[in-house]
Amino acid sequence: MNRNFYLNIAATLILLILIFFGVTMVGVFDRMRFEQEANRRVIAELSDAVRNFRPAPVLVTGSGAARPGIVETPAANREFYDPDATPGGRIIYTVMADTGNMNYLINNEASLGEFYGLCGSSLATRNLKNPDLFEPLMAEGWKISEDKLTYTIKLRKGILWHDFTDPVTGKEWRDVEVTAHDFKFFLDVVMNPETNCAPWRTGLMDIQEIQVINDYEFKVIWKNKYFRSESITLGLSPLPRHLYHAYEGPFDPLKFNDDHQRNRLIVGCGPYRFVRWDKDARVVFTRWDKYFGNSLGIAPPIKDIAYEIIKMPSTRFQALVSGNVDWLTLTPEQWMTRTDIPQFGENGTLKKYQITGRSYFYIGYNLRKPLFQDRRVRQALTMLVDRERILKDIYYGLGRIVTGPFYYDSPYNDRSIKPWPYDPARAAKLLAEAGWRDIDDDGVLDRDGEKFEFTIMEIANHPIQTRMLPIIKEDMARVGIDMKIQTFEWSVYIERLEQRNYEVCTLGWTAPYESDPYQIWHSAADNSSGSNHIGFRNPEADRLIEAFRIEFDVKKRIELAHQLQQLLHEEQPYTFLFSPDSLQTISARYRNVRQFPLGIPPEIIWTPLSQQLNIP
């Protein structure tokens, strides 16, 4: 449903996501919610009934009887909701740090993407079992022109914005209907050059305009062909004009950026309503009783959701074991050494789920620095990282070594490319070829009077990095490289990254479902709105990426991806590290916990009445 899809849309709109480094996912990175998951193709064919606005067949329950109170029109993933679910109860998650504000267009933190996944909705979403298939949410149907440049959307009637009281004027807004104008307002705000929405503008740069036909119909018109145009269009969400333009006169982009009181709210039209934000403590949501999905059979059973802000991994784990947290991603060390307790036993209060990871992690070199501009040096640095040892000792073997940016189990990933080996002798030879030798016998390599030394950034209190980086530092020192480790709080880390004020970083990206390497690897993305923060520039890579973006043939696009991966393997702008497994722990009181290709969807789970808990 839309929580799962909102992460996909938030991925569909190329934001530098703050992703968790290591399987713990506690260190979030860059702003790339735009590319969230995909491996085979952009989208499968949709049924003629949906594409052409023809009446869809009646959907029935497994028993063959229509569900009471349910409107029998197409609704995404309805077949996965348990008709016997008992509404009520709670889910409590954790995040490692508080957010700056609640305006997701100007604040691109990963936690905020989670929050909007609860409160927001979109035109359509992917089927849980078959992610290649889009199914309708806010859209009643859509038509696609033969040239794939024009998408005509028909909205459902009666979709309501969440009720709220304007914190500035005190005006109460009740029962405001979502219309086509709200989708146009979203695009107008994002494309306004004075709003702080630069990453979103990059993601939507090929959309020419949204034309409103009437309150319930509009057209999305694209300037250029783009293989992701369908998924991006169907991933669009509206923006509440009555919140962000609640004044007379033209829209003020600077007010939008700096409207601190209104930017403490989330007003959506999805299944959950924002309740409150307790700074540095928690964010609370409750189920929206006027959600349009309620009458379509896609209302989430869980009533209340909270995100507790807990910085330390050990504290988060203790909160899980004591029952104060319901769903947590564990570190490999926690998974292997701390779950041999009654709570994780056969009749325990917690269950473990090991899921194939959809992220990859890396060491990134700032290529603007002369030290890293010779690819022989970068190859040598990779050969000094003992990835097999780190995977075994720190990740407990719960993951895989990767050689490129594509999801490991995807056909876009070329498995014939073998990882660079851990080979200090070969690394030393490459460094010597590049002119680096220990001329003054002080144990550190020299070239033209410069020492081979650099500083790598570490995230404070990070359970993976604090163990991994000292191992790498020791191996670097053996061949004469002085690697310094400097620790930063997350907010400072991100600031230095955005300002390109660093030498080496250790971070990660989500593994995309519909991969578009443009935002990370194209030279045009080496700017403040792009995710190419290392400054990688390669004309052949640009050519491959540009061809990739306009290629609708899946086989040809896979071939281009393999060529790009081989190029990146040779250039080594990143030391590609691991795709760790996602190690989830969920309270045993939940029912209908199911694993799908994109993970475990929380919107379909429920709790028996006798086991339901409230948020304290």
502 and 600 belong to one structural domain: no
Q: Does residue 240 belong to any structural domain of this protein? A: yes
Looking up residue 228, the CATH number of its domain turns out to be 3.40.190.10
* pLDDT at 507 exceeding the cut of 70: yes
Tally of structural domains, the chain: 2
Assess whether 142 and 291 both reside in one domain. yes
- Chain centroid, CA 451 distance in Å: 39
Segment 345-350 mean pLDDT: 95
**CB within 8 Å of 263: residues ≥ 6 apart:** 101, 102, 103, 106, 107
Cα-to-chain-centroid distance, residue 205: 20
Residue 408 is encoded by which pair of tokens?
A: 């490991």
Element (H, E) at 587: strand 582-587
Q: Please tell me whether residues 152 and 217 are part of one structural domain.
A: yes
Whichever domain contains 443, its CATH number is 3.10.105.10
In the predicted model, is pLDDT for residue 431 greater than 80? yes
Average pLDDT over residues 482-494: 93
Same domain, 545 and 605: no
DSSP 520-584: HHSGGG-STTSS-TT----HHHHHHHHHHHT---HHHHHHHHHHHHHHHHHH-SEEE-EEEPEEE
DSSP letter string, 163-175: PEE-TTT--EE-S
Residue 19's pLDDT is what?
34
Q: Strands, DSSP E only, in 16-97?
A: 90-95
Q: In the predicted model, is pLDDT for residue 38 greater than 90? A: no
In a domain, 94, yes or no: yes
Lowest-confidence pick of 29-38, 301-310, 337-346: 29-38
Together in a domain, 265 and 407: no
For the beta carbon of residue 433, count every other beta carbon within 10 angstroms. Answer: 12
- Does pLDDT of 548 surpass 80? yes
Does one domain contain both 300 and 237?
A: yes
- The pLDDT, as a whole number, for residue 304 is 98
- Is 344 within a domain? no
Q: Supply the DSSP symbol for 161.
A: P
Question: Does residue 299 share a domain with residue 370?
Answer: no
Residue 51 lies in a domain: no
d(CA 223, CA 208): 5
Q: Is pLDDT above 60 for 35?
A: no
The answer to whether residues 367 and 488 belong to one domain is yes
Residue 269 pLDDT level (bands cut at 50, 70, 90):
very high
61-99 pLDDT, tens digit per residue, is 222 333 444 444 689 999 999 999 999 999 999 998 899
In percent, the amount of the chain with pLDDT more than 90 equals: 77
Domain co-membership, 25 together with 119: yes
**In a shared domain, residues 563 and 606:** no
| Alpha-carbon span 399 to 25, nearest angstrom | 14
Is the pLDDT confidence value at 383 over 60? yes
Using a cut of 0.75, tell me whether the model's pTM lies above it: yes
Band the pLDDT of 511: cuts 50, 70, 90: low
Q: What is the pLDDT of residue 421?
A: 97
Q: Are 541 and 407 in contact (CB under 8 A)?
A: no
Residue 171, pLDDT score: 96
One-letter amino acid at 371 equals: L
The answer on 596 and 576 residing in a single domain is no
Residue 509: give the domain boundaries. 359-580
Q: Give dist(CA 245, CA 280) in Å, integer.
A: 29
Q: What is the mean pLDDT of the chain?
A: 87
Quick check: 2 pLDDT over 50? no
Tokens found for residue 461 = 């209190």
Best CA proximity match to 405, nearest among 559, 562, 543 = 562
What per-residue confidence (pLDDT) applies to 73? 61
346 falls within a domain? no
606/75 Cα distance (integer angstroms) = 19
User: Does residue 231 belong to any structural domain of this protein?
Assistant: yes
Q: Is residue 269 part of a domain?
A: yes
**The pLDDT of residue 110:** 78
Q: How far apart are CA 582 and CA 398, in angstroms?
A: 9
3-state SS assignment for residue 502: coil
Same domain, 113 and 208: yes
In the predicted structure, residue 605 carries a pLDDT above the cut 70? yes
Q: Can you give the pLDDT at residue 440?
A: 92
Q: Which residues pair with 132 in a beta bridge?
A: none
Higher-confidence residue of 111 and 556: namely 556
162-170, long-range: CB < 8 A, 24+ apart:
162/119, 162/267, 162/268, 162/269, 162/273, 162/274, 162/288, 163/273, 163/290, 164/243, 164/265, 164/267, 166/243, 166/246, 166/262, 167/261, 167/262, 167/264, 167/265, 168/246, 168/259, 168/261, 168/262, 169/246
Residue 588 located in a structural domain: yes
Among 207, 159, 202, 206, residue whose Cα is nearest residue 184: 207
